[in-house]
Structure 1
């Protein structure tokens, strides 16, 4: 009710849903506020179908208050942004102040200052706290490290359910940990996408293990597809951009992958990213639609150079986290690194 109008604005630049449903969104937030106990929301099903010791269903590893309150806080921050965009300054201040109180209560209730873990330390709990902006900046790296450690300690297997797993992927990708995502999703001997395929799944399943007792054609657990475009393909929207006016192309070269080819039909036109890795050479072909700009991040090692095969002009800005950053305008480019 609150997130979808915001996504429509972020992805398409369309504010109409915000305008049309603003009063409804206010009523929904008021409802959540009324249900909260000291700003903690403990209702619902929690991290549905996570992987605990019992048969899947209601959350087993993550307390209800974590998932409910994290999304409640996120709703407030998004509503604050929408109120600001719509010129409703008093509302924006109200939601900002309430969000700050929720954040404080959440951390008082669930954050262990010594271990830097949230609640039970589950993958969902730590990831949702990071993604929703509930973690203090000084603690963020350690909380992410705890998330990675839990995954690695389980020999790269997942535990998060339908609510939490999307945020596990988002946090890992944002932290430059796509190698962890690849390792998690390359196994076919534990519950996850690999075992679903091994069991003959041709559609998304309700359970990670593709159990025969539940639905095996379900609108659920499809989170990995987002990473295939934004991580492997590298097509992302730049921070503070709307409708993909400013684009970020940063393909993640992980595991034994040697190529990827993805495209997205944005409001400005098709954005595409196609890369190949052969030996010590890497090529990336990108298409940037008219009236947009893009920053491209290339994996360049010491003694390697970047060239553009079609002799199209580009600007090298510098390097970030071991990658060369290039700024380009609209057009088709083919970069070569060797």
Structure 2
């Protein structure tokens, strides 16, 4: 629900924006499975769903649109990625197909969807809803194609993959302005193109433009609930985790840290503290802590943490991070602390799972495991590749302690 004291409604937008945070912290698959069945029950024959589930009628004429309705396909996909359970996709597949086909009736002849709510509660700059709505239309078609492949429906996999490509091409024709700028040039517009996988050939210049935009705003975000998720993840995924960390670490308005400075112990509905002060939809930063600071990242090809990618960042002003996730195979641990220029990183990989670990190297370049040079360590460690500033290794199950110098200057 969006808040426990006011509306008490199951807003779809709030749900998918907070879902990854929920999966990292709790065993939520069964609860989501029940709620997704409720969404399918509320779906009209046309494929339309309300923005609120369950509903007595509110949400069909206001509050829906792709940026909210996408819980219908995002949460089954997250459930599969975080648990490895394909049954939720089998159950929801018909309703997801019906919804994507419904969106086709809301798009114009160029696959642009201008319908629905957009980047709700922005700090300052608004972003046209047609950018975010069209992006979720693309993402829905792309995910549906992947689901069809998993279920052996090759005809639908091909059909929806082509639809996704067509939407992507139209998105860039309609919204790309050159020099890495999309739409009105907002942080949300640029981060949306990157996060949703739409930038394509414009990726590099869009990343550069977004970084420059953030720097020009003194590393403050200028987003609503959609952009807040896009922004820090797009930067993390495109080589600028340091910029994302500076955004997350801000203590002045607008920022999560500003809330903390005001005495907040919960997530608020708006950056300025108006309205509800117990709201989940800005909460994906909690998932970002796991991904960026702990380094726990999903491997889509081996879901459910059957294989995990461990690639944390080690900010200079942060002394320790302790991250655990209780996967279906057991506890995954990534716990590091700083002692001078040395990082001591404890890792636990559960039985019957494997990991790819990324170790940043400073000028000294040495990594030790269990007190030994890594090349002299146990046979469970295989070096995949090495560069001047990174060592990538493959681990089987077990407990490991890595020590290295984090000195990149």
The gaps in structure 2 that reach 5 residues or longer are: 1-71
Q: Which has the higher helix share?
A: 2
SS in 2 for 1:270: strand
The gaps in structure 1 that reach 5 residues or longer are: 53-59
1:203 aligns with 2:275: no
Moved more, 75-84 or 228-237: 228-237
Residues 201 and 210 in structure 1, CA contact (< 8 A), matched pair in contact too: no
Cα distance in 1 for residues equivalent to 2:225 and 2:386: 36
1:132 aligns with 2:132: no
Instruction: Report the TM-score when normalising by structure 1.
Output: 0.93
Cα distance in 1 for residues equivalent to 2:348 and 2:213: 38
C-alpha change, 1:320 and 1:294, in structure 2 (3 Å) is farther
Give the structure 2 partner of residue 164 of structure 1: 227
Residues 81 and 300 in structure 2, CA contact (< 8 A), matched pair in contact too: no
C-alpha change, 1:277 and 1:285, in structure 2 (3 Å) is same
Cα distance in 2 for residues equivalent to 1:93 and 1:270: 37
Q: CA deviation at 1:186?
A: 2.2
Give the structure 1 partner of residue 41 of structure 2: none
Equivalent residues in 2 for 1:246-325, closer than 5 Å: 246-309=307-370, 313=378, 314-319=381-386, 322-325=389-392
C-alpha change, 1:97 and 1:315, in structure 2 (3 Å) is closer
Q: CA deviation at 1:173?
A: 0.9
Residues 263 and 273 in structure 1, CA contact (< 8 A), matched pair in contact too: yes
Q: CA deviation at 1:317?
A: 2.4
SS in 2 for 1:163: helix
C-alpha change, 1:310 and 1:291, in structure 2 (3 Å) is farther
Moved more, 126-135 or 299-308: 299-308
SS in 2 for 1:121: coil
Residues 5 and 17 in structure 1, CA contact (< 8 A), matched pair in contact too: yes
Q: CA deviation at 1:304?
A: 3.3
Cα distance in 1 for residues equivalent to 2:73 and 2:104: 14
Count of residue pairs the alignment pairs up:
327
Residues 183 and 255 in structure 1, CA contact (< 8 A), matched pair in contact too: no
SS in 2 for 1:240: coil
Instruction: Report the TM-score when normalising by structure 2.
Output: 0.77
Equivalent in 94, 100, 119 of residue 165 of structure 2: 100
Cα distance in 1 for residues equivalent to 2:116 and 2:151: 31
Give the structure 2 partner of residue 243 of structure 1: 304
What is the aligned-residue RMSD (CA, Å)? 1.5
1:183 aligns with 2:268: no
Cα distance in 2 for residues equivalent to 1:144 and 1:66: 17
1:90 aligns with 2:162: no
C-alpha change, 1:193 and 1:106, in structure 2 (3 Å) is same
Q: CA deviation at 1:141?
A: 1.3
Cα distance in 2 for residues equivalent to 1:4 and 1:175: 24
Give the structure 2 partner of residue 117 of structure 1: 181
Moved more, 143-152 or 233-242: 233-242
C-alpha change, 1:181 and 1:255, in structure 2 (3 Å) is farther
Residues 103 and 134 in structure 1, CA contact (< 8 A), matched pair in contact too: yes
Cα distance in 2 for residues equivalent to 1:62 and 1:174: 22
Residues 322 and 335 in structure 2, CA contact (< 8 A), matched pair in contact too: yes
